[in-house]
Amino acid sequence: MEWYQYIINAIIVIIGRALDIISTRYVTKELKLETNKLARRLGWKGAIFLQIPLIILGCLDFYFALFIFFWSLFLFANNIEGSWYIKEVGEENYKEEIKSHLKNSKTWKIIVGETSHIFTFSLSGLLILVFLFVLEDIMAVIFICIALICQGGLSTFRSIQFLVSLKKENQVNRKKEEK
């Protein structure tokens, strides 16, 4: 491998890990909402220190660098989804709100409600691998990828549209109350 490939790989990994760390810091400065127990225990300095082995390993292979980047990109997206609400109410209040709602929720409902990533990422990835390497059906892979692209765009659009409409509804109600 040429020397510049190591640098390219390092840049890919650093960008990915930076996205995850910066988005985590944005959402949970005190790490109260961090789901990774090791990162929470080590704190920010320890979590940043843990990036060094990832960067070194990522330098060694382009495909591993891509793996780290995309996994970090998924973590980034997960971190910032709904972050507007956490920033609005605060880390501690958000955590306490979740805890209060968990008291009344059945465990099976929590598990079912939190399995969407299995279908979105795990099943899609598994099917892509099966269609690509076992069945050698590139058209199926293309359509799975198109479905993922469409879902990403449409779900983002719909979520934003829904939240903006609720915000407008609040503004209209506030104006009515002022009269």
SS3 letters for the chain?
Answer: CCHHHHHHHHHHHHHHHHHHHHHHHHHCCCCCCCCCHHHHHHHHHHHHHCHHHHHHHHHHCHHHHHHHHHHHHHHHHHHHCCHHHHHHHCHHHHHHHHHHHHHHCCHHHHHHHCCHHHHHHHHHHHHHHHHHHHCCCHHHHHHHHHHHHHHHHHHHHHHHHHHHHHHHHHHHHHHHHHC
Last residue of a domain, one of 81, 104, 127: 104
Residues 3 and 46 in one domain: yes
Q: Would you say residue 22 has pLDDT above 90? A: yes
pLDDT at 174: 85
Encode pLDDT of 53-109 as tens digits.
999 999 999 999 999 999 999 999 999 999 999 999 999 999 999 999 999 899 999
Q: Give the distance from CA 70 to its chain's centroid.
A: 10
pLDDT at position 137? 96
Structure tokens at 56: 């070194």
- Confidence grade of residue 33 (pLDDT, cut at 50, 70, 90): very high
Q: Whole-prediction pTM value? A: 0.84
| Contact (CB, 8 A) for 49 and 105 | no
Name residue, tokens 């960067």.
55
Same-domain pairing of 150 and 98:
no
pLDDT of residue 133: 95
Q: Which two tokens stand for residue 90?
A: 């605060």
What is the rounded distance in angstroms from the CA atom of residue 173 to the CA atom of residue 52? 52
Question: pLDDT band at residue 175, thresholds of 50, 70 and 90?
Answer: confident
Let me know whether 128 and 81 are in one domain: no
pLDDT of 149 reads 94
Domain span holding position 27 = 1-104
* Whether residues 99 and 176 fall in one domain: no
Check whether residue 1 and residue 27 sit in a common domain: yes
Residue 109 near residue 101 (C-beta atoms within 8 A): no
Residue after which a domain boundary falls, among 58, 87, 104: 104
Residues 99 and 26 in one domain: yes
> For residue 1, what pLDDT is reported?
82
Torsion of CA 106, 109, 111, 113, to 10 degrees: -140
Per-residue pLDDT for 129 more than 80? yes
pLDDT at 179: 74
Q: Looking at the 3D structure of the chain, how many domains does it have? A: 2
Q: Could you say which of 64, 86, 104 is where a domain stops?
A: 104
Tens of pLDDT, residues 131-174: 999 999 999 999 999 999 999 999 999 999 999 999 999 898 88
Verify that 90 and 55 share a domain, yes or no: yes
